[in-house]
Amino acid sequence: MDAHGPLCVGIDPHAALLADWGLTDDAQGLRRFALTVMEAVAGRVAAVKPQSAFFERHGSAGLAVLEEVVAAGRETGTLVIVDAKRGDIGSTMGAYADAFLRDGSPLAGDALTVSPFLGFGSLTPAVRAAAASGRGLFVLALTSNPEGAAVQHARDAGGVAVADRIAREAAALNGEEIAGSGARLGSVGLVVGATTGDAAARLGVDLAAVRGPLLAPGVGAQGAGPAELAAVFGPARASVLASSSRGVLKAGPAVADLRRAAELAAAEASRALRD
Ligand SMILES: O=C(O)c1cc(=O)[nH]c(=O)n1[C@@H]1O[C@H](COP(=O)(O)O)[C@@H](O)[C@H]1O
């Protein structure tokens, strides 16, 4: 983020985008799409975020393309956040951790999005695997979709909102890690949509206290821009990684056009989050 600006480019090969790019809706079209995005932005943005569902929908050949994206990230020194939003009972979570967070696994990028809605503690195998292999997690907290509020804004008997509980759990893990390493940010990030307005403030979620990276999807196609980013994150702005998928991808298929769109989005995110 310091080197390239606070932008993550999402790689979401929707069927409609494949068609717009003149590509077939199959593993071959998917491969061309994903590797074109990598060619355009690798080494130029803070991170890329392939969304697993768009690869899974092409079956095993699609997953092989996701592996290629992960490998391309590694070869070009580009951080890859695998957006698979995994979450399950602890023993099964261990298998997901093995797939996405273990050295040598072909699907292991640099970080994984995870869902804490089976209980934050169910993520423990992923937390351990990430710590053991130097990877990171982005834990869903306040998602960008309007339906998320019914669960995430709910309060427990003590009046603590679900999203706040998640933030406190992440803060505790990051606090331990930072005490041991002296790093500025720990490895347990949160997902907080750029579309969530004043929800964090209203729920009493102290995003700055999390001391982890804050992944902010919702920029571009879902309507959030620089003003929304600045408003949602306030004093936590320096930890935010703004994420845009369709907002950048619609500029394709030319590499130069994609690159320009990513540069513009990165400059906009920088102005909103760094000035
Ligand atoms: O974890 C995510 O990345 C995520 C969380 C969230 O709250 N909202 C959200 O949109 N996302 C993902 O971010 C991407 C948004 O895509 P665009 O709306 O095209 O920029 C999709 O891949 C979503 O799955």
CATH of domain 7-274: 3.20.20.70
Coil/strand/helix, residue 138: strand
What is the position in ligand 1's atom list of the atom closest to the CA of 246? 19
Tell me, in angstroms, the distance from the centre of ligand 1 to residue 243's CA. 8
pLDDT at 51 over 90: yes
Q: What is the pLDDT of residues 174-196, one digit of tens each?
A: 999 999 898 999 999 999 999 99
Nearest in space to 214 (alpha carbons), one of 124, 141, 128: 141
127-172 residue pLDDT tens:
999 999 999 999 999 999 999 999 999 999 999 999 999 999 999 9
- The reply to whether ligand 1 has any atom less than 6 angstroms from the CB of 78 is no
Whether ipTM > 0.90 holds is yes
How far, in Å, is the centroid of ligand 1 from the Cα of 217?
Answer: 5
Query: What percentage of the chain exceeds 90 in pLDDT?
Result: 99
How remote is the CA of residue 108 from the centroid of ligand 1, in Å? 19
Q: Which atom of ligand 1 is nearest to the CA of 192?
A: 7
pTM of the complete model beyond 0.80:
yes
Question: Residues 197-209: what's their mean pLDDT?
Answer: 97
Residue of the CA atom closest to atom 12 of ligand 1: 217
Residues 15, 24 contacting (CB under 8 angstroms): no
Closest to 108 in 3D by CA, of 128, 85, 135, 90: 135
Encode pLDDT of 19-42 as tens digits. Answer: 999 999 999 999 999 999 999 999
From the candidates 85, 102, 155, 260, give the one annotated as an active-site residue. 85
User: What is the pLDDT at residue 275?
Assistant: 74
Contact 96, 129 (CB under 8 A): no
Annotation marks residue 85 as catalytic: yes
Domain ranges of the chain: 7-274
- Residue 179 CA to ligand 1 centre (angstroms): 32
- The residue contributing the CA closest to ligand 1 atom 5 is 143
Q: How far apart are the C-alpha atoms of 132 and 162, rounded to whole Å?
A: 27
Mean pLDDT, the chain, as a whole number?
97
DSSP 139: E
* pLDDT of res. 217: 98
Could you give the percent of the chain with pLDDT greater than 70? 100
9: Cβ below 6 Å to ligand 1?
no
What is the pLDDT at residue 261? Answer: 98
Tell me, using a 6 A CB cutoff, whether residue 222 lines ligand 1.
yes
Average pLDDT estimate for 68-72: 98
Distance CA 249, CA 266 (A): 14
Which one-letter DSSP state was computed for residue 194?
T
